[in-house]
Amino acid sequence: MSVREHDLREIRDAVAKLCATFPMEYWRETDRERRYPTEFVRALTQAGWLSCLIPEEYGGAGLPLAAAAAVLEEIQKSGANGAACHAQMYTMGTVLRHCSEAQKKKYLPKIAKGELRLQAFGITEPSAGTDTSSIRTTAVRKGDRYVVNGQKVWTSRAEHSDIMLLLARTASREDVQKKTDGMSVFIVDMKVALGKGLTIRPIRTMINHATTEIFIDNLEVPAENLVGEEGKGFRYILDGMNAERILIGAECVGDARWFIAKASAYATERKVFGRPIGQNQGVQFPIARAYMAAEAAALMVERAAVLYDAGKPCGPESNMAKQLAAEASWQAGDMCLQTHGGFGFAEEYDVERKFRETRLYQIAPISTNLVLCYLAEHVLGLPRSY
């Protein structure tokens, strides 16, 4: 199903109206208390936005990634924080393309109805970081089950998810020809596993991101929960990772547009020395530069989403979309804080909260340096640097 621009406008308008029912004080409170925005996530679920990528035969809307990007961009543009629930969208890249029909029938209708949450993606490990091929979590087949042992970190929303996609090694790195072989993806029932081999420990961070570390000790996972073929998991998660980069890029564009609107309004209203500060070019120019960067990043996000929806290779575009948008949002955030001066540090203006939130995407879901390494090697043909 293609989405025309007027369809996206309708989606944006509907999401904006929903977000307007959650005032900025709601987000200040959740940030202050480090509380998961359950009410907001529930509202998005009931409105069908978190299931927009799920095909209609499983109870979703069957929309393409471009529509999901519009949803998340609008959430951020409203001043809210889509990080509380965006994984339910980007994990669909792995689920829809690689799960069996039986798995889709079992989980997708319940996810679409809001009976299940798929908010956790267990990939990163303390000793491996972004070197995914070096993960040490293992899954050993024993009869009709796999026994999993290992540790994950930065597994966000694990405490608020019913099921998780977990990446583990089913063959050691030394026993495979390519270091990315021998990894498999599993669907883990969090409620069943908790206390029976799965331990979740929250990590308190500078933003309200509900992130955790996970300890796995002889956790038994039914063999039927293996996604696709054993040993092919790295290729499967790439579909999720490309979707993740595009959607995070859309969120960053939304953040940038929030910062730009906020700064423009303040610069028009705030008067110093008898005139609006926005009349000064020293204030105008950074806002204008941030606007240009945001609009350019938005075009790359759109291009990457079009390629993804067409089933075409989009690794370079999805990486560039994420990086350009993350840089644009950070540029806009810094500009907005500078425009507000001391008031930018006051909680009631929301700038400091959004400033902290958008900084994350210089690091996650992939660091700036790895994006540059990827482009240098795979696009520009330069020698591999790592």
274 three-class SS: coil
Q: How far apart are CA 72 and CA 49, in angstroms?
A: 9
Strands 145-153 and 138-142: antiparallel
CB 265 within 8 A of CB 287: no
Q: How far apart are CA 297 and CA 361, in angstroms?
A: 14
Strands 226-227 and 212-222: unpaired
* Bridge partners, 61 (sequence order): none
The catalytic site residues sit at 244
2 three-class SS: coil
CB 157 within 8 A of CB 120: yes
Q: How far apart are CA 90 and CA 322, in angstroms?
A: 13
What's 148's DSSP letter?
Answer: E
345 three-class SS: helix
